[in-house]
Amino acid sequence: QKEVEQDPGPLSVPEGAIVSLNCTYSNSAFQYFMWYRQYSRKGPELLMYTYSSGNKEDGRFTAQVDKSSKYISLFIRDSQPSDSATYLCAMSAVGVQGAQKLVFGQGTRLTINP
């Protein structure tokens, strides 16, 4: 079993829809949770960072963490064609010497149709 599971999709939704992206994990030591957006042939861009259970909102994006269920989500409201990308979840435990070793999900490929 992989430490982090993410449905690779692809996921296709109409413009303006609410998008829900999810990851589950098995390592209860994970404490830091991130969502990255990656456009084709580019490096991942950090979208959201959380370290506690609950919701964190930033503009059209909301990150949700449920540590008891080992489940994290990213919601995108009023989705735009420019949101079309691969979304990667990532998480880590407390690092040794401050190093943070991220474990990534496979990524979900999202397309927003105009």
Partner 1 sequence: SQTIHQWPATLVQPVGSPLSLECTVEGTSNPNLYWYRQAAGRGLQLLFYSVGIGQISSEVPQNLSASRPQDRQFILSSKKLLLSDSGFYLCAWTREFGNEQFFGPGTRLTVL
Please report, as ranges, the residues that interact with partner 1 according to CB under 8 A: 4, 6, 8, 32, 34, 36, 41-46, 49, 51, 88, 90, 92, 97-107
User: Which of 105, 71, 103 has the alpha carbon at shortest distance from 86?
Assistant: 105
Closest to partner 1 by CB, 23 or 76: 23
What distance in Å separates the CA atoms of residue 40 and residue 70, rounded to the nearest whole number?
A: 29
CB of residue 21 to partner 1, shortest distance in Å: 14
What distance in Å separates the CA atoms of residue 96 and residue 8, rounded to the nearest whole number?
A: 31
Closest to partner 1 by CB, 17 or 103: 103
CB of residue 56 to partner 1, shortest distance in Å: 13
User: Residue 88 pairs with which residues in a beta bridge?
Assistant: 36
